[in-house]
Structure 1
Amino acid sequence: MQLKPIADVLNPLNLNSPDLEMLRPDERRYTTLLMQPDGPIFASKERIGAFDQTKAKIKGKKFLETANERGATLAITPEYFFALGYLIRRYCRGLVPSDNALWVLGTESITQEGLESFKQQVSDLCIIIHEPLEDLPRDRHLLGTVALLFQTTHIDGTKKLIILIQFKTYPSRDDLFFEESVLRRGSVVYQFKGINGPLTAAVIICADAFALAELDPQSLSDFSNQSTLIHIQLNP
């Protein structure tokens, strides 16, 4: 696991770092909206996600609508909940984060081919960013993902919607070692930093917590000091 500042990802694309309200060091409160849905999980070599996808889509739609209505500064769903393709249709209906907000959406597993297809479908709607797939091991094929959605600006002043896709770096343990057998591990955890002040935020997915031991002491200090750590998990 390596910790990468969000600025290191955005600056080469001529994009500014977002001014997230949750990272402003002042006395104002920010609002959060969290979801922990019930229901069984489906897991096969083709997909890990909600067993009842129709029910999950209904809940997901209501969640995003509520996040918009309440102006949630931070909105979070657990891992393996949203299907990435579903985000396309939600975007077309205007369900996107407000300025200075961060949506942390745990998403269903996806293959490299599925991810490339998703990127092609939304290329005219938003900017998709993730670590290079060619750098990841190829001995397994399912990517565990979290989609980090936020608004920022290009250096020309235009507003851009970003979907930063972070890959799970460490498999969960279960009786059958199932995820171990299919998970294609990522290597990067992205860190958001406040525009003014020392506050930071980062997201890890479930068993990523075990990979924190791979960080060097300075990175671990940077990761935890004055940081909001968002730890999404699967709790069926």
Structure 2
Amino acid sequence: MTTGRIWQFCAALAVLGVAGCGSDRAADEPSIYGALKDAAAPALARATGGGEAPAPAAPPNPDQMAARALAANPAPLILAGLESSGATQVMAMTGENAGMRSYMSPNMQALILRGGILTGTKGLGHDLSVVDGDSPSLIRARRAGQATRIHRYISGDGVERPLPMTCNVTVGGAKSFAFAGRSWTATQVGESCRSGALTVENSYLVTADGQIPVSRQWIGQQLGYVTLQTIRP
């Protein structure tokens, strides 16, 4: 991944409380890895109300949110941060069918994932109906290459509006981190997609067996990006 994309992804991880990005190549690439902590600080300050105006209330602590969720719910759990609203919430799996998992929040908003990759949303407004394309196979295999992605949305008149994109999948360095009592080692994978003037930059941490414990994925032009962190697989 490029330096800018890694910084952006690590800023999102900082908001969710994941330990700072790192790599066994940190000493060899100080321009990328040595600056990650500083790059994450402005985004974290904005998310927690830092800057010129004081925060009206303490931001939610992701570790505490995860601990409470683990104690209260035996289902698979994720922590989702919607960047457009600044909201971070725990979502529990409510159903699984043919590899598709539905995760729902207490306020009945839902994300649908296939193997950790977002394929749809419900209850958010401007929802993503479904995602097609061949980029997920490259991402989960941690393999660079060209791919396609099609986002489909249902407009207010009930007509499906497809958004086709061409994508370039790239593979970066390794990273180890811990969250919610679980340790992970994963590879940074980037997915850069274009459709006309629109550019989408998705980022993933992918394990050797194809799991995606952390990601930052684009929903749509109105909702923007969601950052996802696995609490319980």
| Pairwise same-fold verdict (TM > 0.5) | no
TM-score normalised by the chain length of structure 1: 0.29
Which structure's residues are more often helix, by fraction?
1
Q: Which has the higher contact order (CA 8 A, sep 6+)?
A: 1
Bigger proportion of residues as strand: 2
